Amino acid sequence: MFSNREINRIKLKLNLIKKLDVKVPKLVFSPTQQEEDISPILGIRRYGPYDSNASVDALKRDFKGAEIFAFCPKGDDRVFSSLSRLLEFLENGYGRKSDYDTNFGGFRDEFKLEILNIPTPDEIITYEVGRLSEVLSEYKEAFNEASERGNRPIAIIGGLSHRSTSARREQYVEAKREFTLIDVPSQYASYYELEESGYGILYQILRDKPVGYPMWNFALNLYGKIGGIAWIVQQSLYDTIKKIMDLSIGIRFGRLRGQRGYVFGQATVLDRFGRLVGTIGRAYKFSGMVVPTRIMRDFIIQAIQKALNDPRVKDIYNRDKKKYLNIAFHRLNYFHPQEVLGIQEGLDYILKKMNLEKINYSLIFLISKRTFVVFDEVAEFNNPKYGLSFSINENTAIIHTAGARSDKDKGPLKYPIVASCQNLGEKNSVLQNLEGLCSHILDVSALHWQTVIPSSVRLPATLEFARRIANFAAYNIQPSQGSLLEKTLWFV
Amino acid sequence: MNVILWRVIGTRNQVKVNNIRKFLLKEGFAHVFYERYLWLAPLKEIENNEIENITKRIFSMNKEVEEIEIDNLVDDENWFSKGIVLIRDALQYALRQKFANNKDFRVFSRRRVFKNEFVLSGMSSGVLVGISLDRILRVDDDNICICPIIEYECIDSLGMVVEDRFERSRFISRVSKVNTKRYKGVLSQLIEHINPLSVKFSNKKLHFDEWRYKIERTTEKREKGEQASLERWLDV
């Protein structure tokens, strides 16, 4: 909401500008994994997704497989035939066609699912745009039966809408709204054609373009949406492995469409394994640039209570008899003293209510707007490496959360983000130095689960997820409280 | 960075001229409204009574003008309320002055300078490449710097910015995905036309001439972070 102003807040201190020694996150696909640096495709292929290997009950996959239902608006042969081919690729795999392409061995084999039901073309369900709900009422029983068999139902909807344009957005919004209403995860597959080109996986498939990576991304999204965890990143802190960031909470506020004076707040909570354990979204009425203390207090209490009451988090905390908590708060704006007071009051309440001894917390504000450009004179194409970080003053660093994987990387320039920990080094802060701040931000940024291309997402998952959820909320699309969808990446 | 500003009692609502920013920049003044005052910084040499005349035109009445010396325009108290806005105006003025008779470049709002030549042409529009000097940061306790970045703009055949966001981003994305080396080359070329950039700022002069800060790349000896096994990690 107020991000442009934050850049002016930065103050460079010339004597403090230096390269930081930062720990780059390790994507973990198996408890027995040895490799420090492994790409998502290789990791999933070699080990399977993390939850298929987990030795601890709290992290084990709790479904056998997926049952896919495919939907397509009536009257468009291009969407129908490309959707049929997409389903075929999901079932039988896809072979690479060019240098910048990759093999995909089918959803079941690559993601080590016990069961995968994929419809044949004659089982694709067609519907009139605007009347999807009528069709869905006939399939509710089938979705329930899939769950009873220990599988997760998921819908793939082909359509003519694409996220980059508002044209025919109603198709996308209708699909998302109707499936979210009945607690069934859904994945949209776009066919968007322009005069000379087009967008979307269905367009690419129909034009015989290389789709190995898009197929992987599509499958990764499906897996996240049925509640799977493809990989985890240990949220251990830089200076000591004994310290864990128990919860990372991303907070975003945005103006509510069509309602003046109302702001929509969205908090996304990740646990110590980087799993999404809950989101809180609420509309508040307030004016001015600062979130009032009481609203911030209530918001924080709600978010933490929701996380600590989650059975998956509770199991671990009960087991450990934990008496202290480490929490990171992420935001795209500076935390105003009035907001900090609200957070402190919220934490005090949690401390007493949950009978804890101590809560340490770090207040981190991030700037994603393009600000600095770093040229690595040693690298062949000057591209800075993933993880490269610099301090620019006592509590602020610039971090390449996206970047090159080697000195020979010739990919496009990636801008670093700016991260500032407002209470860095203070007694109550989890983070005590800038190296710790950078490592933490890199860890949380590696948890996007939206793409198999490594180090390509700039913002931490906490804020990325909050943005996406807030976008859906603007269309009044939200899973019901306690719904299974809340535990999945339904919004990616 | 002590600087002399002129302070006039008056609010934005009392202003009698249209588009006061455009008006004052044309007259060579940076301005900001803060609390119940209008603060002015001349960006050129001024005559004795010029400030009084300008304020009379702004408010359609005589106003008392007070000269105030600000100890440090970049300290927290002054920077957010006055400094950043005045400096932005000064930069916009300096860029307009510098490229006033230069047909090869166009100065856009928000301190953006574009080369007047399509780097990509379409049927009815094209893409210009330019530089944004809108990221102004403070350095230590008494200085400022600009972080320049490359920007692209999609222009139609009449020289207007294409309004269709989808069309714009589609065109721009075709030329903007360049590696850092290429980016640096384009940025260097553009900056050669801009630097040195200087502007009078009341009793001071702002002067920008360097655009890179060198940090030595130390050896890539990265200590392997000790990884806890999952079981240990759970027991933490």
Best CA proximity match to B152, nearest among B137, B164, B169, B135: B169
Half-sphere exposure of B125 (CA within 13 A, CB side): 17
Cβ within 8 Å, pair A381-B228: no
Cβ within 8 Å, pair B137-A11: yes
CA distance to partner chain A, nearest, from residue B134 (Å): 9
pLDDT at B142: 87
Two structure tokens written together for B201: 């700022």
Cβ within 8 Å, pair B215-A19: yes
Chain B residue with minimum CA distance to A410 = B179
pLDDT at A238: 65
A62-225 placed in CATH 3.40.50: yes
Longest CA pairwise span in chain A (Å): 68
Cβ within 8 Å, pair A373-B183: yes
* Chain A hits for B180, Cβ within 8 Å: 373-376, 379, 381-384, 413
**Model pLDDT for residues A88-118, shown as the tens digit of each residue:** 999 999 999 998 899 999 999 999 999 999 9
A340 touching chain B per CB within 8 A: no
Euclidean distance between CA atoms B172 and A46, whole angstroms = 39
CA distance to partner chain B, nearest, from residue A60 (Å): 13
- Running DSSP on this structure, what letter comes out for residue B80? I
Beta carbon pairs, A and B, within 8 Å: 129
Cβ within 8 Å, pair B140-A12: yes
Q: How many CB atoms lie within 10 A of CB A347?
A: 23
**Model pLDDT for residues A243-289, shown as the tens digit of each residue:** 788 899 998 877 766 677 777 778 888 888 778 888 888 777 777 66
B140 and B132 Cβ atoms separated by less than 8 Å: no
* ipTM of the prediction: 0.88
Enumerate the β-bridge partners of residue A69: A155
- The pLDDT of residue A4 is above 60: no
Two structure tokens written together for A44: 């999933």
Q: Which CATH number fits domain A3-25+233-487: 3.40.50.150, 3.40.50.300, 3.40.190.10, 3.30.420.10?
A: 3.30.420.10
* Chain B hits for A390, Cβ within 8 Å: 215
Domain boundaries, chain A: 3-25+233-487, 62-225
What is each CA distance from B40 to A215, B16, B56, B82, in whole angstroms? 59, 16, 13, 10
pLDDT at B1: 66
Chain A stretch 240-259, residues whose beta carbon is closer than 8 A to a beta carbon of chain B? 241-244
Chain B stretch 193-222, residues whose beta carbon is closer than 8 A to a beta carbon of chain A? 212-213, 215-218, 222
Cβ within 8 Å, pair A373-B139: no
Confidence of residue A492 (pLDDT cuts 50, 70, 90): confident
Tokens 């994945």 correspond to A187
Nearest Cβ partner for A375 among B184, B227, B235: B184
> Which phi and psi (to 5°) does residue A42 adopt?
-65, -40
Euclidean distance between CA atoms B50 and B45, whole angstroms = 10
Cβ within 8 Å, pair A243-B236: yes
Two structure tokens written together for B195: 């630097």
Best CA proximity match to A160, nearest among A211, A220, A102, A202: A202
Q: How many CB atoms lie within 10 A of CB B104?
A: 9
A36 touching chain B per CB within 8 A: yes
Euclidean distance between CA atoms A47 and A28, whole angstroms = 10
pLDDT at B221: 44
Which residues does A143 contact at the CB level (< 8 Å), separation at least 6?
A: A69, A153, A182, A184
**Model pLDDT for residues A162-177, shown as the tens digit of each residue:** 766 667 778 899 999 9
B172 and B127 Cβ atoms separated by less than 8 Å: yes
B158 touching chain A per CB within 8 A: no
A222 and A154 Cβ atoms separated by less than 8 Å: yes
B224 touching chain A per CB within 8 A: yes
A360 and A429 Cβ atoms separated by less than 8 Å: yes
Chain A stretch 401-440, residues whose beta carbon is closer than 8 A to a beta carbon of chain B? 410-413, 415, 439
- Running DSSP on this structure, what letter comes out for residue A475? T
**Model pLDDT for residues B148-195, shown as the tens digit of each residue:** 999 999 999 888 999 888 888 888 988 999 999 999 999 999 999 998
What percent of chain B clears pLDDT 90, i.e. is strictly above it? 71
**Model pLDDT for residues A48-86, shown as the tens digit of each residue:** 999 999 887 778 899 999 999 999 999 889 999 999 999
Enumerate the β-bridge partners of residue A336: none
- The pLDDT of residue A368 is above 90: yes
CA distance to partner chain B, nearest, from residue A380 (Å): 8
Cβ within 8 Å, pair B228-A378: no
| Range name among A159-173, B65-79, B83-97 with the lowest pLDDT average | A159-173
* Chain A hits for B136, Cβ within 8 Å: 8
- The pLDDT of residue B236 is above 80: no
CA distance to partner chain A, nearest, from residue B57 (Å): 31
Chain B interface, mutation test: which of A2, A3, A11, most B Cβ atoms within 10 Å?
A: A11
Cβ within 8 Å, pair B218-A19: yes
Euclidean distance between CA atoms A89 and A29, whole angstroms = 24
pLDDT at B217: 64
Two structure tokens written together for A233: 């990143």
CA dihedral A80, A86, A88, A94 (to 10 degrees): 150
Best CA proximity match to A301, nearest among A363, A354, A358: A354
- Choose between A470 and A27: higher pLDDT: A27
Cβ within 8 Å, pair A31-B230: yes
Chain A stretch 196-235, residues whose beta carbon is closer than 8 A to a beta carbon of chain B? 234
Cβ within 8 Å, pair A320-B230: no
Chain B residue with minimum CA distance to A166 = B166
- Please, what is the average pLDDT of chain A? 89
Nearest Cβ partner for B217 among A238, A241, A376: A376
Nearest Cβ partner for A23 among B139, B213, B225: B225
Q: How many CB atoms lie within 10 A of CB B26?
A: 11
